[in-house]
Chain A
């Protein structure tokens, strides 16, 4: 990590508050920053993330939009191309199919197609994850699509600290960044630096816990659950937990360094397993640390089904710490 843990002033806050603080600070810092999306203003965001921002910044900069993702994501692209720094909220990542054209063919390609002659300082925030009995169209974890697609930086923080630091970097970046927030951990608490210039560079992973026997690369909700599991296993198995924070670009060096020490890797990410984020992390590890591996890489995710409604079914499908535990037990 780029930051010094010593002497750093922090404050306990929730993941939700960390996201809000990042937007708030960046809006104070730069007049070009504004937020738009469905119900981000009066409503305060469907998960209350932007609560209070309308009162502080007014309707001009906290813009409620029609239910019109292609329109307002496209407007975000146009505003970014002409000198603004929009933060566009897409309420659920499942809705990203609607503005996909503007994201994939415009936002992601404009700089390259135009020979590098345009900046695209657009941040798209969206929510992911199961666990709320919200069924298949409001529970998906689809960050892999966008991490895979060239021209997009994709980040998926797992702690309040990471949420604040990476969102601030996203807003300051002249590249398009998609921020995937797991909605189940908005209440997660953690220490967050108060320094308004505290950022986490895009493409820098965080070693959240050091260990000797196995490396767990976990994203989003799986970070917290893996840390708790590591505590539980302490004494039996020494678990190192890494939050990559950025999926693309991916800081595989930090992961490789860890695997060179532990010789074992578990990748825990709530997305479907085939052709996924897990596969990419595993492959990078194989490319760079093949002879350090003492056991097959294990992956924890969703077994290629959608997130179902019934609690019995959803609990079966969505991965949890016990799945990470089982993966560790298979190789340690």
Chain B
């Protein structure tokens, strides 16, 4: 999805639509998970929409992103198709990963989305590598890594930022500080007040912005992107935000209370942005309701589509390991399913 000019009316309306789409997608995913329709682990992005949309709106289509285990928001903000995302959540062949990845591994290399990631902190080195590619090929684009506050404590994140800084690569590191690393509050995981202060260690700029304000994120990432493109190296942007749901669906959340969640909800990114747009006359309340119902039908259709899509043929489990297949895979699969060529030989 191309960048949008959030200074324009159309741009603001588009940003609002993207945020709504993320929320509707994840609200729906949460319900489907509770109903047992979606298997596995699901980490929802609800509450944090302004971060993904603010950041991706500042990017051009050709810019790369790496994502996290909480990746639905990044994917939608980057322009991935909710139909194919939902199909992936359902484990269907039509999904982005042919049903092999699921929620935690949605990727679309053609859209320059280098993958959600089940390993906290594993995305930044990959984004640094993408930035290295850009630099070596002399391209005019950037690589942006989304990472959570928890990931900041990971050694490989330090290594990635150090490498990108030392080589002045066109990278942007966006820390989504949603106040909890899994079930432990951020102040029990880090010594610094603001996670962006770590930028000082690399002699790169670091800023902390209101992650519930889509324009604030947009502005900070736009500036970081400009800097990266100009050959001035990476920036750390920390966005203070909040996840309304548990770390994963089913999390009992013994580490926080309802009041805290309610306090953050008062600053809800979508509500406050809607209010602002209505106040400025960018759109009317009716137009907003219309947008909401369009988004609801879009996601409902994605669900119908995913539900009806065929499941993978079990034999597909033995495909996609390599470009040049290893003969072992077919041989072992065959042996396991037959008498194995008793007496030797296949």
Contacts and interface: CB of A to CB of B under 8 A. Distances in A.
Contacts of B97: 113-115, 117
A111 B329 CA distance: 15
Contact of A77 (B108, B118, B125, B335): B125
A114 B326 contact: no
B136 A78 contact: no
A82 interface: yes
Contacts of A42: none
Given A110-B115, A153-B322, A287-B344, A102 B122 contact: yes
Interface string A245-273: 00011100000000000000000000000
B328 A66 contact: no
Interface in A124-172: 150-151, 153
Contacts of B266: none
Interface in B140-168: 143, 155-156, 159-160, 162-163, 166
A111 B321 contact: yes
Contacts of B205: none
Nearest to B320: A116
Interface string A74-88: 111111111110000
Nearest to B98: A115
B101 interface: yes
Contacts of B136: 34, 60-61, 79, 84
A197 B82 CA distance: 46
B13 interface: no
Nearest to B323: A174
B322 A175 contact: yes
A83 B133 contact: yes
Contact of A117 (B109, B125, B131, B340): B109
A79 B130 contact: yes
A279 to B, nearest CB: 15
A66 B166 contact: yes
A75 B327 CA distance: 30
B322 A79 contact: no
Interface string B156-199: 10011011001000000000000000000000000000000000
Contacts of A77: 125-126, 129
Contacts, number: 171
B305 interface: no
Contacts of B132: 75, 78-79, 84
Contacts of B344: 287-292
B137 interface: yes
B163 A65 contact: yes
Given A74-B128, A102-B122, A115-B97, A175 B345 contact: no
A57 to B, nearest CB: 12
B119 A101 contact: yes
A172 B75 CA distance: 31
Contact of A202 (B101, B143, B160, B324): B324
Contact of B126 (A66, A81, A112, A287): A81
Contact of B125 (A70, A119, A153): A70
B126 A113 contact: no
A249 B323 CA distance: 13
B65 to A, nearest CB: 12
Contacts of B340: 287
A77 B156 CA distance: 13
Interface of A: 34, 60-61, 65-66, 68, 70-84, 101-102, 105-106, 110-119, 150-151, 153, 173-175, 202-203, 248-250, 287-292
26 contacts: A66-B162, A71-B163, A74-B129, A78-B131, A79-B129, A79-B132, A79-B133, A79-B136, A81-B114, A82-B64, A83-B137, A84-B136, A102-B126, A105-B122, A113-B100, A113-B101, A113-B115, A114-B101, A173-B324, A175-B323, A248-B326, A287-B335, A287-B344, A288-B344, A288-B345, A289-B344
Given A175-B322, A289-B344, 8 more contacts: A66-B163, A68-B162, A68-B163, A71-B156, A79-B132, A83-B137, A84-B133, A111-B323
